[in-house]
Amino acid sequence: MAAAPPTPPPAKRGLSQPTAQSHQDVLAVVTEFFYDAEDTDETVDRSFGMLAHQTEADLRITAVGAAWMLALALQKMDSQQPGAGVAFLRSLGTALARTRE
C-alpha cells in the first residue's frame, strides 16, 4: 500500500483549492513534461499555465506534493535496482548545481 500524500498544517490559510487538487495539478505538470519534454519552451509555458490559478499557499502544497512524488519514484527505482534511486538523486543534484539562470 502506498503512503498517503502529505497534508498541509492545520492552518490552511490562503488555500484556494483542496490539497488533493494541488497534487493532481502537479501530476498534470509532471505528465506534461514526461510526454513533451522536447518542446521545452512551450512545455514550460503550458506548465506555468496549469498552475496559474493557484495561490501562494496552493503552490507550497504543490511543491511538497512534487517532492513526495519524486521521493516515491526514487524509492521504487531503488527497490527494483538497489542504489539506482540514490544515484539518480545525486545526478539530479549535480545537474542542478551546474544549471545557471
Residue 26 in domain: yes
- Residue 89 carries which DSSP code? H
Residue 4 in domain: no
- What's the rounded Cα separation, in Å, for the pair 99 and 86? 20
The number of folded domains in the chain is: 1
Range of the domain at 38: 19-98
Mind listing the pLDDT tens digit for each residue in 7-43?
666 556 788 888 888 889 999 998 888 888 676 788 8
Mind listing the pLDDT tens digit for each residue in 40-70?
788 889 889 999 999 998 898 899 889 989 9
Place of cell 519534454: 37
Considering only the C-alpha atoms of the chain, give the largest distance between any 2 of them, rounded to a whole number of Å. Answer: 41
